[in-house]
Structure 1
Amino acid sequence: MTKIALVLGGTGTIGSATAMAFLKESSIAKVVVTSRSQEKLDRLAQEIKSTMGEDAAGKFLGVVGDPGHEDAAKDMQAKVIAAAGDKIDYAVSAMGFGWFSHDPLATTSRAKIAEALEMQLFPAFGAWKVIMPLVKNAGGSYVFVTGGGPDTFLGPGTGGLTISGSTSTAFAKVAMKETAQDGFTSTEVSFQVGVCRDPSAMPPGPIAWLSSKDAGSALVSVALKRKAHVKTMVIRSQEIMNELIAEGIAS
């Protein structure tokens, strides 16, 4: 039990499930979870303690930070190093995928598009700059969580969401290519489905809903098995999710 895992944006639906999946792994000594909200970190810590027990709660470390701004990102890096050292074996970046609706692009303001980028692109970019070196120090693995591609979610009022989602997946691909020979594994996992705690509670519609628990297990499997270097794993169905959980890579 010597490995360090980090979940960026670890209090969200996918992030919290990923943190809990890491906590189940016997090889993991600490699971560091970042969030912009101390309140959300406290709630997650209490949930872990009540549902997983004292041992899992003892492995959990919460860090407040906002990597969407450069100075704040450097401060977050310092907190992570203070909590867990300067080597991160497994990092999962699960930040910024929020749902919101805007007017059609022809009548949307520049400020609204900037808001979408602030939510989805800049936190992932800032976190990569400060956390990737720690993963590189360990020769570990870095997993980008993306989604919101226009071919999946584009519809009335979702232009800003799909543009920012497309930029975040483009960023992940560029970052992977630029560091492909740097001694650590990087993978993008793109969710082209909805993810929630209880898919059975969601109304029927054009988007398939899958379990956040399964999503967390899939991301941890990808991080630990390290079979999908500089690849994008696209989750469109439960079958693909199951393959990632079992194998850490999907055909």
Structure 2
Amino acid sequence: MASKVVRSAADAVADIQDAATLAVGGFGLCGIPDALIAAIAESGAGDLEVFSNNCGVDDHGLGILLSLGRIRRVTASYVGENKEFARQYLAGELEVELTPQGTLAERLRAGGTGIPAFFTPAGVGSPISEGGMPWRYAPDGSIAIASPPKETRTFGQKRYVLEESINADFALVHAAVGDTEGNLVFEKTAMNFNPLAAMAGRITIAQVEKLVEPGEIDPAAVHLPGVFVQRIVHTGPQDKRIEKRTITETAGAHR
């Protein structure tokens, strides 16, 4: 069997072409596959469709691809930290599908487990289910593309909306530890979307801080089994940035 270990991030993403769909892990700037994103930026691939909880910040994470004009469409649940994202969306340069965070998580998980769609109460009675949310604006500020209405059904006297699962051409994830068979261990908040994004990718590429041999990870400690991972690249310790830093001065501190 061919090794899953790839020499570099550039080699790992070399076949990601224009118009590819990407499921990208991470939560805020925690646990984002920054080395893989940077490699895509260097590769020149564009017209990308991205599924991710958020779109990084202006100069880090997916924000790098966004600022280069490489992303055509984003499905996300939170985008409030990226000014360029807001500018492109309002200017009609970017198509955006906003979805409840739990719904996005379940759409990714469902895609990875072969479930084509599911019913959820989240968004019933709102534009999420009834349609009309602006996916893309025209340059004059009018709505060029609006979300369509979704099927709803009643179960036990409660209404639910049908949501379709997500499958992507590629998934990009970051893990604290991985073995050469692709079994991954995530750290703290990085657990939030990385395992789900990894499940949704037809080809999943994992960057890991620490690469070990099979058997060195306790099977009970594995968060994502290697069956979901096709490529793994050792990128070493990550530059762990935060979106905002707030400092509280202690009493009596000099100003």
TM tier, smaller: 0.3 to 0.5
Higher helix share: 1
Using structure 1 for the length normalisation, give the TM-score: 0.36
Say which one has the larger Rg. Answer: 2
Q: Which has the higher contact order (CA 8 A, sep 6+)?
A: 2
